[in-house]
Amino acid sequence: MSTDYGATVEQVHRAFSDESYWLARLADSGADDAALESMSVSDDGSIDVVTTQVLRSDRLPGLVTQFHPRDLCIRREETWGPVIGGTAHATVTGSILDAPVGLTGNAVLAPPPESGGARLTFRATVEVRIPLVGGKIENFIGSQLVELLIAEQRFTTMWISQNA
């Protein structure tokens, strides 16, 4: 998956290093509850962020509630390296607490060759360890990831324009 930002790599990375950005992004996420569990920015520009978001069970599709009838508590960890040579790399992991679901991925934030700005390219593997229907749930999560990436790009671009 990839999405283009209306800002430079440095501007997007700077937003990722700002606690107020994460608090605003979580508040805008559409989750029923959301929290910035931890955040640290190293002297070299590396960023570590851990968030949790809760989706109430009454908002979930039947395919999900059939196997997880409780609220979903999603934990996400992002580790961004510094911008080096105009590019930043990240690892992303996600899990749903008390569910056999995991996500691992890598992201690259780089200037697209055809224009200025920044492009986030994200490659992820979703694993749902439920026999017979795990693949269907993985496909559902994958489609939701695309929507999430687009929503986060829109939010980030707007946040940068308002806070630059």
CATH class of 2-163: alpha beta
pLDDT confidence tier of residue 148, bands split at 50, 70 and 90: confident
| Residue ranges per structural domain of the chain | 2-163
Contact status, residue 102 vs residue 29, Cβ threshold 8 Å: no
pLDDT of res. 121 = 94
Q: Mind listing the pLDDT tens digit for each residue in 25-75? A: 999 988 899 999 999 999 999 999 999 999 888 887 777 777 778 888 889
Report the pLDDT averaged over residues 7-16.
96
Model confidence pTM above 0.85: yes
Report d(CA 127, CA 139) in Å as an integer: 10
Contact status, residue 53 vs residue 74, Cβ threshold 8 Å: yes
